[in-house]
Structure 1
Amino acid sequence: MKLKQIVALGALASAAAFTQAAPIWQDFSLTGLYGENYAYPFQGEDNHQTTITAEYAAGLKYGDFFAFADRSHTDAGNETYFEVSPRLSLGAVTGQKLEVGPIKDVLISTTWEGGSNFNNYLYGIGFALDIPYTSYANINFYKAVNDNTKDDYQMTITYAVPFKIGGEEFLADAFLDWSTAEDEPNHASELNWTSQYKWNVGKHISPETKLYVGVEHSVWHNKYGFKDLDQHDVSALVKYHF
């Protein structure tokens, strides 16, 4: 294993170790998706895909933790993909308030992305933001290392906006990933904005039930780094929080 990968794994392990504690809050959910306009290399842009996603998120004394795993059945075959993302709060570790303007905390951010025959390690700095009308908003800046491309850089934005219409509860949440291009091998700059728009039908079952239905909108330019492989898909969505 190359030294840079050892450093990336060390950063990931350190963040995970520091964030290990009894959760202040935690959430586990399962999501089912179905769409018909997924793009894949050498397969075109009109592929059907069914995906089951398991997600876990937690707030901890010294940071936060997020992980998910996708299992997808597509016209191009079956896929498994996962991400593990612990973040270490510098404010919590130092005991100092690191609040400046919309920034309410500064964190060491790490992510391990994995799937069939690949691993991608990201490490960098993140900011928890105080943005009106959001339940959370974050921006992370990473350096990415792997065996398949030269090192590149990535920016990730996540946010969630809960709102009500006529007493009904809705949630709009999303992530946006942007990564730099690489010349060797030919790997174009990517932009992936995936957003979900959900209605909580579970409240009509019981006040504690969180069962959402809605859609996921995926806009992915240069998917997987393939130049001009663009995805514009709207998928039906069902999501249950345990």
Structure 2
Amino acid sequence: MRLPTRLICTAVAALAASTAHAADWSDTSIGYRYGTKFAEPFGTNDIKKSIVNLNHASGYKYGSNFFNADLLLSDKKDPSSPGSDSGASEVYIVYRHTLDLAKVTDSKFAFGPVRGMGITAGFDANVKVDAGYNSRKQMLVLGPTFMMDVPGFLNVSVLLLKESNAPYNKFSGTGTPRYDYKTHLMLTAAWSIPLGKMPLAFEGFANYIAAKGTNEFGGPTGPEFNFDGQVMYDIGAGAGAAPGKFKIGLEYQYWRNKFGNPYKGPAGRGAFAKTPMIRAQYHF
């Protein structure tokens, strides 16, 4: 898959930002997950996908960075071109930077169940090569983050989203100029919480995204809910070896109105995915 120059530059900038301040701690991993119940709006259900990802998180004096890049490879139920036996391919990139207000101001931002507060900014970007829509998403995010007082971590953010897309169908030669959706809000949570005394952790994220006005074709959008959680077992720690290196686990994704497409509308059941997966991660 050939990526546009803009997305490559975006990824490079994110990597540079995420490593420039990694003075206090960092964690980088490569991972693989697989499921057989993926779905795509305006398409079908029970798509098989393999997903390879690169993930980096780091902290520095004034805050933290998070970067994730997924390479998603579908089977032929989500074809790469009309009538093709090869599956679609997609790259999806997420970058977030959180500025810790307590560290910046040398003041306390703790109250009730909240142990700290920050300001989060970042972006999402994707490129997909498929038989139809061929997404070229770009999205900027900004808003407050509340760091909850729990074992491990639980961060809850309220983010303002500025999203656009410019899909292009190279097979029909038709495309849409970059279209800006209505600015909208997202309530999001990310967590990693240890489970008892065993080397197990409950990890994941959940997003509730408000409707974003009409889409680029004049149709309605709907509120989107995406839960992605996994229970991961630390093999090294369980075997009495170095902890935090190799993890395996089970993952489940519940995604209603995927990408804002109402599943009760023209997008159909493909906009409502319920996907169990297996997952493995190697940290270095």
What TM-score does the superposition give when structure 1 sets the normalisation length?
0.87
SS class of match (2:212): coil
Query: Contact 1:20–1:60 at 8 Å: present in 2 too?
Result: no
Choose the corresponding residue for 2:272, options 215, 221, 230. Answer: 230
The answer on whether the counterparts of 1:86 and 1:109 sit within 8 Å (CA) in structure 2 is: yes
Q: What does residue range 189-204 of structure 1 map to in structure 2 within 5 Å?
A: 189-203=223-237, 204=239
2:129 is equivalent to residue 95 of structure 1: no
Superimposed CA distance per residue, residues 70-114 of structure 1 (whole angstroms, 9 cap, x where no aligned partner): 001013200000101001111111110111111111111112100
Which SS does the other structure have where 1:123 is aligned?
strand
Match of 1:104 in 2: 115
Q: CA deviation at 1:209?
A: 5.5
- Taking the TM superposition and a 5 Å limit, the aligned residue runs for 1:77-88 are 77-88=88-99
Deviations 1:101-147 (A, max 9, x none): 1111111111210011221001011111102xx30011111111123
Structure 2 distance, partners of 1:205, 1:92, is 36
What is the identity, as a one-letter code, of the residue corresponding to 2:203?
D
- Which residue pairs with 1:9 in the alignment? none
Could you give the per-residue CA deviations for residues 120-178 of structure 1, whole angstroms, max 9, x where no partner exists?
Answer: 001011111102xx30011111111123411111011111111246xx41111110011
Matched residues in 2 for 1:35 and 1:155: separation? Answer: 26
Letter of the 2:115 partner, please give it. K
Q: Which position in structure 2 is the counterpart of 1:181?
A: 211
The match for 1:114 is 125
Residue 22 of structure 1 deviates from its aligned partner by 4.3
The 1-side partners of 2:107 and 2:241 are apart by 41
Deviates more, 1:135-144 or 1:174-183: 174-183
Inter-CA distance 22–219: structure 2 relative to 1 (3 Å threshold): closer
Q: How many aligned positions are there? A: 225
1:144·1:151 contact (CA, 8 Å) conserved in 2? yes
Q: In the TM superposition, what are the counterparts of 1:97-176 in structure 2 within 5 Å?
A: 97-116=108-127, 117-131=136-150, 134-147=151-164, 148=179, 149-164=181-196, 168-176=198-206
CA distance in 2, matches of 1:240, 1:99: 34
- Contact 2:69 2:94 (8 Å CA) reproduced: yes
- 1:67 partnered with 2:102: no
> Quick one: percent identity of the two aligned structures?
25
1:40-65 Cα shifts (integer Å, max 9, x gaps): 02221210000001100012110111
Q: Structure 1: 5+ residue runs without aligned partners?
A: 1-12
8 A Cα contact 1:109 1:123, kept in partner: yes
Distance of aligned partners of 1:81 and 1:206 in 2 relative to their CA distance in 1, 3 Å threshold: same
Q: 8 Å contact 2:143–2:160 — kept in the other structure?
A: yes
The structure that has the greater radius of gyration is 2
Check the 8 A contact 2:21/2:59 in 1, yes or no.
no
Change (3 A) 1:209 1:182: closer
Give the Cα–Cα distance (whole angstroms) in 1 for the partners of residues 245 and 38 of structure 2.
Answer: 28
Q: How far apart, in 2, do the equivalents of 1:82 and 1:119 lie?
A: 10
Structure 1 or 2: more strand by fraction: 1
Assess, with a 3 A threshold, how the Cα gap between structure 1 residues 85 and 209 changes in structure 2: closer, same or farther: closer
- TM-score, normalization: structure 2? 0.74
Amino acid at match of 1:206: A
- Specify the code of the residue in structure 2 equivalent to 1:170: L
- Mind listing any 5+ residue stretches in structure 2 that lack a counterpart? 1-13, 79-87, 128-135, 165-178, 264-270
Query: What is the CA-CA distance between 1:202 and the residue it aligns to?
Result: 2.3
Name the CA distance, whole Å, in 2 between partners of 1:125 and 1:27.
24
Q: Give the AA of the match of 1:70.
A: D
For 1:95 and 1:216, how far apart are their aligned partners in 2?
39
